[in-house]
Amino acid sequence: MASKTVITFGTFDVFHVGHVRVLNRSAALGDRLVVGVSSDKLNFSKKGRNPVFSQEERLEIVANVKAVDEVFIEESLEQKREYVRQHKADILVMGDDWQGKFDHLNDICQVVYLPRTPSVSTTAISEQIVGNS
Ligand code: C2G
């Protein structure tokens, strides 16, 4: 059987257990995991604020997760089709907060949405740190 490449995307800011779980679950769907880490600019355009950690730091953290084979910077949400092609991905994995949003890529890869880990988020962690200070 041919080896399968999985691709997933995310900001992965203030890296936490929800992030490591989604990467492990993504990797388990294939043989090789490629991760697109959102650029600072893309993050600013989506959320109106800069991430806590810079794109270079987030890229370095994700690249050092055991399940991850390759990383690159995701510059734009609209380039998903090109990224899937470039990396010869067989499966695109997204968190279920994106449910249905990438179904149109079904013609070039399998699209899988995974449930998020409950009760953990970068925003909640930041608020807790601010509240404790
Ligand atoms: N995640 C999770 N459980 C959480 C938090 C996050 O499973 N409690 C998953 C998300 O579903 C996503 C990945 O971790 O698959 C990264 O999450 P974010 O950094 O929040 O990603 P986001 O900002 O939505 O960026 O092209 C799409 C974007 O790059 C996605």
**Rama region for 103: left / alpha / beta (φ>0; ψ in -120 to 50; rest):** alpha
The residue among 7, 4, 35 whose CA lies nearest residue 112 is 7
What is the number of other CB atoms lying within 10 angstroms of the CB of residue 68? Answer: 20
Nearest CA to ligand 1 atom 13: 10
Task: Please name which of 66, 61, 60 lies closest in space to residue 23, comparing C-alpha atoms.
Answer: 66
Are 115 and 13 in contact by the 8 Å Cβ rule? The answer is no
Pocket test for ligand 1, best of 116, 120, 126 (most atoms within 8 A of CB): 116
pLDDT at 131: 87
**69-116 residue pLDDT tens:** 999 999 999 999 999 999 999 999 999 999 999 999 999 999 999 999
1 — pLDDT class (breaks 50, 70, 90): low
What is the pTM (predicted TM-score) of this model? 0.95
Ligand 1 is surrounded, with C-beta below 6 A, by 9-13, 18-19, 22, 38, 74, 77, 94-95, 97, 116-117, 120-121
pLDDT value of position 62: 99
Three-class DSSP category at 116: coil
Mutate which of 6, 7, 11 for ligand 1 pocket (most atoms within 8 A of beta carbon): 11
What is residue 123's predicted lDDT score, i.e. its pLDDT? 86
* Tens digits of residue pLDDT in 3-46: 999 999 999 999 999 999 999 999 999 999 999 999 999 999 99
